[in-house]
A and B are shown apart, each in its own frame.
Chain A
């Protein structure tokens, strides 16, 4: 009844020249990634959206805070492609500006999480023994805590400074990365090339950053890609609760919140930001999954 499905082999079209040169693992992964349609789709969508948000506002005839009280709640039309909001502000322009904030939070907070997670995980995995056990127990405990609650507290109590949002979100999202890095470090630390580096008398930080981390870049890249949507989701969650960036600035989460309040009469105010945001999360997840398959990262799924 249930037969094992044949494993799909990566059938690479290899030319003689390539055979002679050999294929680096990165090239190999790139080939596999390009064959994954969903991942390619995700990558293209992200490039288009990113470009649009970064340079789009310069070409828009409207600013993000340009109000026009004669033209409030305009449905999508030639003058305003995606319509206008309660103050007659152009939704398309606001989406592009909001996208800048959302994407920036996604990237910066992920970078914070990445830095903490890699360093913590690497130390824990490399040290091993008692220190490792204690450090991982701490991660387990924090993992189980209502950390979103602390992010909310932080943002409410210390004002809605965007830098704080970066740090607060980054400080929550590093845990999975730490676990993954630790697992990877443990699996390579007994390998010959690390022994060799050690026998050369290299310092520990040098062994760690020059020899170990470059060798576990694959999983790090994959989980970085998969962390970004989580971070953006948390930022939008805060925005939706009214804890995001302050008006007249906005992010996608804030726009979704504003749209949800008026969706009954003016559904486009909810639909466009909602679809755009979901599409971004989709693309990031597809790209992340594609990278995981391409780089063949299997262990330590969260």
Chain B
């Protein structure tokens, strides 16, 4: 197990390196620089600004300086838009909201999806199954940026149960997290149902029943374990989807998260902030994928860390 994790961690290094390099050169080769929209009146001020951010150095030197700072000190540099703030500060400021939103959404997706999937599989071809499957299809097909505003319209504006935007009390977390989680709840429900149905007819389930295990035990201890496999492999893409899906959710609900900051930073051509957020997202996603892989092997020893 440890060797497997170590190998995956080693593999992550070149991947991260490629991401950093690609993003670094991409943001520098695009038309338009970070100081185009500023009130840079004279060439002298501009030159000073560029010197301050090290943008006057040769490109390869900028690149090695950046890598050195990131690797040795974990320092992502200074925002070119907000000169008084470092990227690390901005991330520390904005990341918690995004993580909360993402974590809650994932929780909702798992709880709703697994429950619905297990019920649909156990009660298959009953009305419960049909209703569940239809609702899941709706969940998959209605995009978050349609669902979100509609939920706001109904629950915030007409019923007045929640506020339409903001991120202050715990009630403010509910609508955004539900909006973001529901697509993945639907996906998880479908996969759980499919996975459980495949497993429920296998011999080892019959064995469990023959040994006199209770129905609940058969379903939750034996069948669910097999049914979870496709769900777990779906979690990697799902987590990536939740992280990027948060961009839209944060915009709709005016949440002070990193996703909105990232989109703005790209608009502002805030080189360092763009780079920093991309690196952070890459690290997050790679780490989550590693966790998912480990869980997958734990659930299915047949995979044996191939």
Contact = CB atoms under 8 A, between A and B. Distances in A.
Interface of A: 1-2, 4-5, 141, 143-146, 148-149, 152-154, 156-159, 229, 233, 236-237, 240-241, 253, 256-257, 259-260, 263-264, 267, 270-271, 274, 277-278, 281-282, 285-286, 301
Pick from A152, A159, A233, A271 the residue with the most CB of B within 10 Å. Answer: A152
A143, A146, A240: residue with the most chain B Cβ atoms closer than 10 Å: A146
Given A146-B240, A146-B285, A282-B141, A241 B263 contact: yes
Nearest to A261: B149
Nearest to A156: B266
Nearest to B219: A2
| The 10 nearest A-B residue pairs measured at CB | A157-B30, A274-B146, A148-B244, A260-B149, A156-B266, A281-B141, A240-B145, A282-B141, A146-B281, A144-B289
A257 B267 CA distance: 18
Contacts of B289: 144
Interface of B: 11, 15, 19, 23, 26-27, 30-32, 122, 124-125, 137-138, 140-143, 145-146, 148-150, 152-153, 157, 200-201, 215, 230, 236-237, 240, 243-244, 247-248, 251-252, 262-263, 266-267, 269, 274, 278, 281-282, 285-286, 289
Nearest to B121: A2
Nearest to B29: A157
Nearest to A137: B11
Contact of B263 (A145, A152, A154, A264): A152
30 contacts: A143-B236, A143-B237, A144-B236, A144-B240, A144-B285, A146-B240, A146-B282, A146-B285, A152-B247, A153-B23, A156-B263, A158-B30, A158-B31, A159-B31, A240-B145, A241-B248, A241-B251, A256-B145, A259-B149, A260-B145, A263-B149, A263-B152, A264-B157, A271-B150, A274-B150, A277-B143, A277-B146, A278-B141, A281-B142, A281-B143
Contacts of A149: 244, 262, 278, 281
Given A144-B236, A146-B240, A270-B153, A256 B146 contact: yes
Nearest to A289: B137
> Does more than half of chain B's interface fall in helix, strand or loop, or is it mixed?
helix
Contacts of B215: 1
A145 B122 CA distance: 35
A102 to B, nearest CB: 12
B150 A153 contact: no
Contacts of B149: 256, 259-260, 263, 270, 274
A144 to B, nearest CB: 5
Contacts of A277: 143, 146
B286 A144 contact: yes
Contacts of A281: 141-143
A126 to B, nearest CB: 22
Contacts of B201: 4
Contacts of B282: 145-146
Contacts of A286: 137
